[in-house]
Amino acid sequence: MISVLGAGAFGTALAVSMQRESDARTVWLWGRNADVMAQMQASRETPRLPGVSLPDGLTCASDMASLPAHGPILLATPMQTLRALLTTHAAQLSHRTLVICCKGIELSSGLRASEVLAEVLPDATPATLTGPSFAADIARGLPTALTLACGDANCAETLQNQLSTHSLRLYSSTDIIGAELGGALKNVIAIACGAAIGAGLGESARAALLTRGYAEMQRMAAALGAQPETLAGLSGFGDLTLTCTSEQSRNYRFGASIGRGEAFDPAVTVEGAATARATHDVAKRLNLDMPITAVVTGLVEARLDVATAMDMLLSRPLKKE
């Protein structure tokens, strides 16, 4: 049995993929809105993924009392609401294997998702599922590769076998720090790249921001104990490349709207906005030089416009690569 908490586009896509591609699995999908989940259960479709049919074996529910007692639980809720979810349902989630599917750093504490989990549920086993992916691709069965990281190598391998499908290929890792940081920090750089393209600064500017942004990601990851090779893999460079170059990325689109001077739909979750502010705080605490993160924080907080932000980056002292 596989349980997925969070019936947004990504959580539903994971549930669809894992149920559709294996009759041996049974997948249980939970969402907070009882009416929405009842409609999904009856209609076998969701407005979050137009044109995607929910497999017959997939159960849609809103009552946590019916959470299956065995098997891994995937947490596909936004980063900034993760603590509340864990706290509210601590009794059901304690002592379970919890696979974190959100990407970000908690704004109020500066903690990674697995650190939040350890604070709230110290008896649970944390893992993270992250990498270059869009919900629509996963739901349609298009080839996708992700990183499954857990500090326990045996648990990582078990989860890799439990959660992989024919089209969703998982690579195991024991570097949960690096995997989480790659998934979180790339969203900040995606906002920068989107802002550059939205402002008409060109593809060369995007390439520069992507590359120097990757250097910032590596800098923070090293300071926090991540393995350098993790950032060169799917959860780091892979996710960064996808998120900084596609209109499907909410963070990239958010940045592009800033560059064009347009309003962005407040109903759309943009994990990179809060993560930029949290990362900037952590960088200051660790005395890390992260200039792109700093200007993205200024853009998110409307303290800077794109022209000023770019001038701040271009006027920095010249240095070796």
Could you give the residue numbers annotated as active site? 186
- The DSSP bridge partners found for residue 145 are 169
Calpha distance 134→114 (Å, rounded)? 22
* Beta-strand pair 2-5/27-30: parallel
DSSP category for residue 56: T
Helix (H, G, I), strand (E, B) or coil at 177: helix
Which tokens sit at 59? 């159960």
Distance CA 52, CA 36 (A): 16
Rounded to 5°, the CA angle 176-270-27 comes to 60
Known binding-site residues for sn-glycerol 3-phosphate equal: 103, 131, 133, 186, 239, 249-251
Cα 111 from Cα 106, distance rounded (Å):
5
Q: Whose structure tokens read 């701040």?
A: 312
- The binding site for substrate comprises 103, 250-251
What is the DSSP secondary-structure string of 239-298? HHHHHTT-TT-HHHHHHHHHHHT----TTS--HHHHHHHHHHHHHHHHT---HHHHHHHH
- Binding-site members for NAD(+) are 6-11, 135, 250
Contact 100, 82 (CB under 8 A): yes
Do residues 247 and 76 lie in contact, with contact meaning Cβ atoms separated by under 8 Å? Answer: no
Sign of CA dihedral 121, 122, 125, 128: positive
Rounded to 5°, angle at Cα 229 from 240 and 145: 50
Distance between CA atoms of residues 319 and 188, nearest Å: 23
As annotated, the binding site includes 6-11, 32, 103, 131, 133, 135, 186, 239, 249-251, 268, 271
* 3 state SS of 96: coil
Tokens representing residue 159 in the block: 């989860």
